[in-house]
Amino acid sequence: MLLIEDLKVELAGNEILKHIDLEIRQGETHILFGPNGSGKTSLLMTIMGYPQYKVTQGKIIFKGEDITHLPVNERAGMGIGMSYQRPPTIHGVKTHQMVRICAGKEKEVDVEGLAGQVNFTDFLGRDINDGFSGGEIKRSELLQLMAQDPAILLFDEPESGVDLENMSLIGTTIGKLLQRDFNIDPVRSQKERKKERTRMGLIITHTGFILDYITADKGQLLFKGEMTCASNPREIFRCISEVGYEECVKCAI
């Protein structure tokens, strides 16, 4: 479970997150909406533990432990994983090597097999993120998360810039990762499968496309650094589409 209480965050001396309360329970996936610059990426980076995002108030609890001041790699070790909006290029570090790093030291990983699932086999020999197109970055990030297999997956706009064919690939893969696919299971009923769901997700989206592929438990709207409302994700999306963020915030308050 991820619990964020009364969080304030500063970046380069500016308060970019003013008041965040958020609770993602075991097995839940939330959708995070908000206009450009509202602080969505900042929130994910803060949860991941990027040191430039300074928590000035409040705390982050994960699996019952206060992780507010834990370094990034220890959070990764506890099962927090992130798909980035703009990941850096690392020259000389190949994509297949990166996938192996994600899997951790002990785990054997079928890099080719995983890459095949997201149509990324041809990129394994390239330096990570070097010249990747917008859509390719999304598949690369997803591939890394598949290998990493974290308990909570933070997706920063997993579908922006993705073409139609790859969209369904990415959508269904994310669904699987979050244990939200509805394949018929000979042993367990859908209800049982839902109960067994453990993975958590927090997905940033502008387009709402991802909602065509996965179900989500809640939608959150971030506006000017404040988490304003939490309700049905489709409802928030409709509201934003029809009356805009500002109105939507008002109706929530």
The residues binding ligand ATP (CB under 6 A) are: 11-12, 14, 16, 34, 36-42, 85
SS3 202: strand
104 binds another protein (CB under 8 A): yes
Provide the 8-state DSSP code for 119: T
Helix then strand count (H, E) for the chain reads 8, 12
Determine the size of the site formed for Mg ion (CB under 5 A).
2
The neighbour count for residue 32, using CB atoms within 10 Å, is 27
Residue nearer to another protein on the CB measure, 158 or 171:
158
Task: Say if residue 105 is exposed, middle or buried (CB neighbours under 10 Å; 0-12, 13-18, 19+).
Answer: exposed
93, 151, 230, 252: residue in contact with another protein (rule CB under 8 A): 93
CB of 251 to another protein, least distance (A): 36
- Region at 42 (left for phi over 0; alpha for psi -120 to 50; beta for the rest): alpha
Residue nearer to ligand ATP on the CB measure, 42 or 148:
42
CA distance 104 to 7: 31
SS3 231: strand
Residues numbered 63-82 forming contacts with another protein, rule: CB under 8 A:
71-73, 75-77, 81-82
Residues numbered 147-186 forming contacts with another protein, rule: CB under 8 A:
148
41 binds Mg ion (CB under 5 A): yes
131 binds another protein (CB under 8 A): no
Provide the 8-state DSSP code for 208: -
Which one of Mg ion, another protein, ligand ATP, none interacts with residue 12, CB within 5 to 8 A by kind?
ligand ATP
38 binds Mg ion (CB under 5 A): no
State the Rg of the chain over Cα: 18
**Which positions lie near another protein, rule CB under 8 A?**
48-51, 71-73, 75-77, 81-82, 84, 87-88, 90-93, 98, 101-102, 104, 127, 144, 148
